[in-house]
Amino acid sequence: MTKQPVSFDPPGRLKKLPPYLFAEIDRKKRELVAKGKDVIDLGVGDPDIPTADFIIEALNAAAKNPRNHRYALDQGMPELRQTIRDWFQHRFGVHLDPDKEILPLIGSKEGIGHLPLAVLDPGQVCLIPDPGYPVYRSGTLFAEGIPYTMPLLEKNRYFPDFDIIPTDVLQNARLMFLNYPNNPTSQVADKAFFEKAVAFALKHGILIAHDAAYSEMCYEGLKSPSILEVHGAKDTAVELFSLSKTYSMTGWRIGFAVGNAQVLALLAKVKSNLDSGIFQAIQIAGMKALQEGQMTLEKNLKIYQERRDLLVQGFRDLGWKIEAPRATFYCWIPVPPGYTSSELALKFLEELNVVVTPGNGFGPNGEGYFRISLTVAESRIMEALDRIKKSHPHYCKF
């Protein structure tokens, strides 16, 4: 008797997910590299600047200690939570209870993905910025929530318009993601915007999850505020931070959530059932980064700013209308007439061997733009600009 293989069709929640944007870009890039092409990757925001030696040395020493080889505490080492408390107090002037208002994460992406499971019942609405980080939507769908798009439009300076959200949506809304400094647009919010957002959330009984992964990636002395600086924010908000971009630690997977103690307890309950915490040696290295990383951060920001200035001026010389970002290491660039975001990105990839991220990969309102990451050396940025200029001058005509 011939046995038929078991068929494992994806469940409905997976069928709702589009292909993960950055995985698809990486797959196409690897295909070209395998063919021997010289690919310049301006796509995924993965810092090329190495993690600082003093952080690596802290990891090395901690990894040799057998006490750090066992299961980590789900809520993180008390010393790490106290270090986060001290860093947050110094940076934002906000006091946090290290036992109730701080929760270490295996990278902020993990917290973003798990938060909807902690706070949404099936059928409840999550308000999602568009364009925005794809995990806001996928995390909502995994929790069987309903994503509702808040357009981030250039005419509104890439801020959501809370006043146009329908009443029936607000009645069923439980969670709202915000993200400033913003990926992909690079917009920075001021305290006045956060005051408006907190008042809106308190009025409608909505939890704000503010993704502050790029809080420290600002230029020309700009300081991005924390939403928790707003009076009453702890009643309705949590904020998620990452060491990934700030200290070039993307592969290390360490971040933290702060804010509303009740919500963090719910998120901790989800995490205790799904993970066993952060490797303690990485926690110790993360403490070192937060305690001693300011000079390294400033040095890295200088490098990114030089790259930003080079790329912005290069595109302007080619006829592109482009604003210099005040934060993040991304440039959000309009697509020339005659192309969609995907068409331009595909042509750049296949004809120029230059990877950029199509704006529509961040949501329908990203159509008409593409994103470039400043995570390659200046020589590679210049080479990319030269390829665009020499190979396809029609790209440069508006």
Q: What is the pLDDT of residues 5-53, one digit of tens each?
A: 888 888 888 888 777 666 777 788 888 889 999 999 999 889 999 999 9
Q: In the prediction, which pLDDT does 398 show?
A: 46
- Extract the tokens encoding 343: 């068409």
What's the CATH number of domain 15-44+295-396, 3.40.190.10, 3.90.1150.10, 3.40.50.300, 1.25.40.10? 3.90.1150.10
Q: In the prediction, which pLDDT does 1 show?
A: 58
Across the chain, which distance is largest between two alpha carbons, in Å?
73
User: 53-292 has which fold?
Assistant: Aspartate Aminotransferase; domain 2 (3.40.640)
| C-beta of residue 302 within 8 angstroms of C-beta of residue 329 | no
Q: Cis link prior to 131 (omega < 30° from 0)?
A: yes
pLDDT tens for 208-253 read 999 999 999 999 999 999 999 999 999 999 999 999 999 999 999 9
pLDDT tens for 361-387 read 999 999 999 999 999 999 999 999 999
Q: In the prediction, which pLDDT does 366 show?
A: 97
pLDDT tens for 159-194 read 999 999 999 999 999 999 999 999 999 999 999 999
- Rounded CA-CA distance 142/17 in Å is 9
Q: In the prediction, which pLDDT does 9 show?
A: 84
- Whether 295 has a pLDDT exceeding 50, the answer reads yes
Buried b / exposed e over 286-310, threshold 16 CB at 10 Å, is bbbbbeebeebbeebbebbbebbee
- Whether 397 has a pLDDT exceeding 60, the answer reads no
Q: In the prediction, which pLDDT does 55 show?
A: 98
Confidence of residue 340 (pLDDT cuts 50, 70, 90): very high
- Rounded CA-CA distance 98/95 in Å is 9
CATH 3.40.640.10 domain extents, the chain: 53-292
Which among 246, 303, 200 has a CA at the least distance from the CA of 91? 246
CATH 3.90.1150.10 domain extents, the chain: 15-44+295-396
pLDDT tens for 58-99 read 999 999 999 999 999 889 999 999 999 999 999 999 999 999
Q: In the prediction, which pLDDT does 207 show?
A: 98
Confidence of residue 327 (pLDDT cuts 50, 70, 90): very high
